[in-house]
């Protein structure tokens, strides 16, 4: 049992509360997963590409390996900082993302790459991460988040969600459910040269969708196909640099509720997360129907 949440601000100047909104939404469904928490946040464009690595083990050695790998890839460091269990670096890099991403993942545990995306995830609650990483102060256009109850893997920062689309820029996913044709779909993607860093089905969904987008599909088209291509029970939110979307399987065993007005769209596993955005106000919420999908973008 895990919890997901996402928010999309319809107006560019309305995202000052992005981080705080997601912290509050995840706190509302934290009872669904107390092991770890994560956020995928889309901020105003960075100076270059932002890479976030987990360096909780042998931190000094990991940073040295990262800098060496960046130099080998011809990437110029624009800024760097250590934050919690992570190392964050912004770089100037003009080459292809996939080979660059794969090379960097061999150097250390890469959490995300993006010109707007930053994934922050760690062991602990939403408020724990807010204290360590300052999530609540982050402004941006949209984002998704996840609270995790570990059932199949260890409680470690790298096992927390969201997952980025390994080898792609600015695509992230949060997922509640299980994909039963995971290995079949993964082998097909690996046969085309894609690499995976975990055995988590959320990573698979992210790469599957990012591949569709890279082939020229719209996010809506990719989500429509995912309902047929993915076997199992699932409710997931996907985010790109331009927007956000959801998909639900046809059994609809995993909960999802939605609220939309002229200012924003908010989606979560439980209505209590939506209520955190509008304390004391009655909300007219809807539950997406089985086998449906939808997107929002500017």
Distance separating alpha carbons of residues 60 and 240, to the nearest angstrom: 32
Distance, CA of 108 to CA of 200 (rounded, Å): 18
Q: Is 167 exposed, middle or buried (0-12, 13-18, 19+ CB in 10 A)?
A: buried
Query: By the 8 A CB rule, do 274 and 257 touch?
Result: yes
270 sits in the region (left: phi over 0; alpha: psi -120 to 50; else beta) called beta
CA atoms within 13 A on the CB side of 110: 28
Both tokens of 103, joined, read 């090379």
Tally Cβ neighbours within 10 Å of residue 31. 13
> Distances in Å between the alpha carbon of 99 and those of 47, 173, 189, 238?
21, 21, 15, 23
Catalytically active residues are 2
193: left (phi over 0), alpha (psi -120 to 50) or beta: left
* Residues with Cβ within 8 Å of residue 284, at least 6 apart in sequence: 259
55 CB neighbour count, 10 Å cutoff: 22
| Under 8 Å between Cβ of 204 and 183 | no
At residue 147, φ and ψ (nearest 5 deg) are -120, 135
Compute φ and ψ for 160, nearest 5 degrees.
Answer: -70, 165
């Amino acid at each position: 049992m895990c919890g997901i949440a996402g928010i999309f601000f319809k107006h560019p100047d309305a995202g000052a509360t992005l981080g705080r909104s997601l912290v509050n939404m995840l706190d509302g469904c934290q009872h669904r997963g107390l092991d770890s928490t994560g956020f995928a946040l889309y901020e105003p464009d960075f100076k270059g590409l932002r890479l976030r690595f987990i360096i909780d083990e042998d931190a000094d050695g990991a940073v040295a390996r990262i800098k060496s790998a960046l130099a080998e890839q011809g990437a110029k460091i624009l800024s760097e900082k250590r934050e919690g269990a992570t190392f964050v670096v912004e770089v100037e890099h003009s080459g292809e993302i996939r080979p660059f991403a794969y090379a960097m993942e061999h150097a250390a545990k890469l959490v995300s790459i993006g010109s707007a995306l930053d994934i922050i995830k760690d062991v602990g609650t939403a408020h724990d991460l807010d204290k360590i990483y300052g999530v609540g102060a982050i402004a941006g256009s949209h984002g998704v988040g996840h609270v995790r109850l570990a059932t199949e893997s260890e409680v470690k920062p790298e096992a927390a969600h969201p997952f980025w689309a390994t080898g792609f820029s600015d695509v992230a996913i949060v997922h509640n459910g299980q994909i039963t044709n995971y290995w079949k779909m993964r082998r097909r993607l690996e046969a085309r040269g894609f690499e995976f860093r975990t055995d988590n089905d959320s990573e698979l969904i992210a790469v599957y969708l990012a591949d569709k987008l890279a082939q020229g599909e719209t996010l809506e088209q990719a989500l429509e196909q995912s309902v047929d291509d993915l076997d199992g029970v699932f409710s997931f939110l996907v985010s790109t640099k331009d927007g956000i979307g959801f998909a639900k399987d046809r059994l609809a065993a995993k909960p999802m509720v939605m609220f939309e007005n002229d200012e924003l769209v908010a989606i979560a596993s439980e209505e209590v997360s939506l209520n955190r955005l509008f304390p004391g106000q009655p909300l007219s919420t809807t539950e997406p129907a089985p086998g449906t999908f939808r997107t929002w973008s500017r």
